[in-house]
Chains A and B, each alone.
Chain A
């Protein structure tokens, strides 16, 4: 799509980028957010109860990514090797001349710490830096995996609903007439459906996976951008250069994509960060209610719920709250900076008063 990734930036885009850069708060928030995402993306390599690398009898194994049976290490059973079993590790691997590289954090999001002295939920200490939750799972590991899952889920939800919404808005605005009317009525009907009840009903049929949850939320979230894009399309449709393109003989869809879409994208881009925040909120609140991701998934909302249920273990609620607060704050700062960068009036107010 030409409007999204131009081969060479137009001066207008360059000025917007410069304006975004000037907003220190938003710019730093963007870098911080990306840093957090980058750090948590390889979560399997940061917090895992399986080793990252094993060098055994001259061959390399990556247990963090693949499941190897015990027999691969000279064990007796065909089941997956249990790297937590210290006997197994000492006898078979170390005795057999193997070297093991562990992740910095030896817990995954679903590792129940059987060897801990304290009862779950355990306080933050040397063993578990942020403590454990009420099932004995390490909180920091859950935070890392949970942040990644929430943000990626939010990205996916925002991106796909943006694409669907923009295309629908374009089609609706450009066609006008009956198409416009029918789609509007359809959206009114569809938008008044109670999402929460649909989720409850669905979760009684089938245990939801992350993908099915994404699908269900997508069914209703695409409508957010349609109105804005439709309005922009209706406005741009009458601009002179659209008329000129029609006079040149360009077909309708071609004009819509090449001339109308870039203008609509301006409004869309300013909404996207806030849509991302909204998607994260949706996911978190669903998890809080227990209607979101399947139980056992690392989820910040679920940690909030645990925090509510375990007030004597304040580290649960506080951790979840802080992570969520920081994430939302960063996203909102980024969103504000993007919105101000796209604001056409801001560039002119730089002069001092005539006095």
Chain B
């Protein structure tokens, strides 16, 4: 396992009893309460927790990046001195000193590479900036060093990428650029705040492999922050578990994973969803069928917006979903799975894309239907989206949100009866109906996803499209939501189309799985067959990356 402790006894980074508060609208939130953490030189330490645990705030406090926004309520952040000097408390360090340390001795990599890179600066300029700042390098020396760094992080065709802008690079490439920026001055400590969470699983495996190699080469220490325990198992020697601002448990990885002590750690470790047992569904009637559907988006260029080509978002897919069955669509970003869902729900306007193939709702061909004809059928097929924060209107109360569909489809019913249906729907998703007068922002992510589910269920659909329903949720919350979905399916015999990039979630819910890559179906079959004995190389690479964090470098997946 990587990241063995360094050879001195004084920790490189020593966070002692750190407390950070946020004040908003007169209320004080204790984001971090007396957290203590040590990183020795050359060691990899993991910091694990769910949303709201305070792990990111702790990381940002190391480099004092929250000055002006958060209030430091106590504790110290000690950085070991160099060349025999004493330790330096970063909390009370002046800004000029901190600026020398940031990017110099301690570097940081963030989660979202698209927003962490300046969209108006080329790759060379961004990486060069930190070189100029900390080392005073100029001109040709900068260029050479940048090229060297890019090659080190495994960016293909580095020379041609020097003048590229961030939006011209893929997610994985951007994150490599960020890592290059962080490593430019050979820091002693690299703080990584969920750097792979926003990446596809195969790219994530590659980045992890890269980071392991770099750490071995440079001998630097790493503080890796994530909610994914599997990554920590692959990377870190020791791990700290945070909950609600406190460090609840810490220790060597081997011990934590085999014998966790704190109940929260136990819960975290058991939150991995269990695979679904295969069952027989032969007798069930068909609810939705998709036949050879293609969705092509035209590329228009020129003065007259002539069509010069097509983006084949979906290039021929066929499947059917029966009552009580879950069909899963797996793929990475850009594979076209969400487009399939939109096409199935007839949410793609004809003017935007060319649609071919047939879509049938329970035997009725709805391919040619316009919005007016679709409206009465929308009761049958509903959808739950990924983002629990964006899919609920912030201005409507929960009751209004859930009852919105009723106003369209059951307008003739008296208001009291519609209200009763809303209450029933909220009870089904295990939310207290009394809270329906509150507004969405008062609920947590998992609760909001339940509200979205209630909104879909109140119309009593036969078919539910779940577009990454738990991707934005913490693992423990995800477990509860998945259980709810399974129970609902058992009771109401709902048909689900589950779209996800998270293979564990697919395995937990699906009976039949289709693997998509670049718009085409690469492999399909019963879940136990696709997961247990995948045939296609792409599927095998996906499974290796998702379950073993193994990167495949034979060209099957893009870099």
Q: Which A residues contact B (CB, under 8 angstroms)?
A: 3, 6, 8, 10-12, 15, 177, 239-241, 243-252, 254, 259, 262, 347-355
Contact = CB atoms under 8 A, between A and B. Distances in A.
B375 A251 contact: yes
B24 A347 contact: yes
A250 B408 contact: yes
26 contacts: A3-B395, A10-B397, A12-B394, A12-B439, A240-B386, A241-B390, A241-B391, A241-B392, A243-B385, A244-B383, A244-B391, A244-B392, A247-B382, A248-B408, A249-B375, A249-B376, A249-B379, A250-B408, A262-B395, A349-B68, A349-B69, A351-B23, A351-B24, A353-B67, A354-B67, A354-B70
Sorted nearest first, the 5 A-B pairs with minimum C-beta distance are: A249-B378, A240-B390, A351-B23, A354-B72, A240-B391
A241 B390 CA distance: 6
A244 B452 contact: yes
B435 interface: no
A245 B404 CA distance: 8
A349 B404 CA distance: 36
B347 A247 contact: yes
B68 A353 contact: yes
B351 A249 contact: no
A8 B391 CA distance: 22
B72 A355 contact: yes
B69 A348 contact: yes
B62 interface: no
A115 B392 CA distance: 71
**Chain B interface extent, by class:** 35 or more
Most buried by A among B21, B345, B375, B394: B394
A4 B189 CA distance: 53
Contacts of A250: 404, 408
A156 B167 CA distance: 47
A311 to B, nearest CB: 54
B72 A249 contact: no
Given A251-B375, A348-B69, A244 B455 contact: yes
Contacts of A354: 20, 61, 64, 66-72, 91
Nearest to B372: A251
Contacts of A349: 68-69
A349 B383 CA distance: 38
Given A10-B395, A12-B395, 8 more contacts: A3-B395, A11-B439, A12-B394, A177-B351, A241-B391, A252-B371, A353-B71, A354-B69
A156 B326 CA distance: 58
A266 B22 CA distance: 27
A10 B439 contact: yes
Given A241-B392, A352-B71, A355-B67, A247 B345 contact: yes
B433 interface: no
Contacts of A249: 374-376, 378-379, 405, 408-409
A354 B375 CA distance: 54
A contacts with B: majority SS:
helix
B255 interface: no
Contact of A15 (B25, B66, B371): B25
B401 to A, nearest CB: 8
B387 interface: yes
B441 interface: yes
Given A351-B22, A354-B70, A246 B347 contact: yes
Contacts of A177: 351
Contacts of A254: 408
Contacts of B383: 244, 247
B404 A248 contact: yes
Given A248-B405, A354-B20, A354-B72, A241 B393 contact: yes
A321 to B, nearest CB: 42
B455 A248 contact: yes
Nearest to B378: A249
Nearest to A351: B23
B18 to A, nearest CB: 11
B366 to A, nearest CB: 13
Given A243-B385, A249-B378, A351 B70 contact: yes
Contacts of A239: 390
Interface in B39-78: 61, 64, 66-72
A246 B393 CA distance: 13
A249 B378 CA distance: 6
Interface in B66-106: 66-72, 91-92
Given A244-B452, A248-B455, A350-B24, A11 B441 contact: yes
Contacts of B21: 351
Contacts of A348: 24, 69
Contacts of A6: 395
B424 to A, nearest CB: 17
B549 to A, nearest CB: 31
Contacts of B452: 244
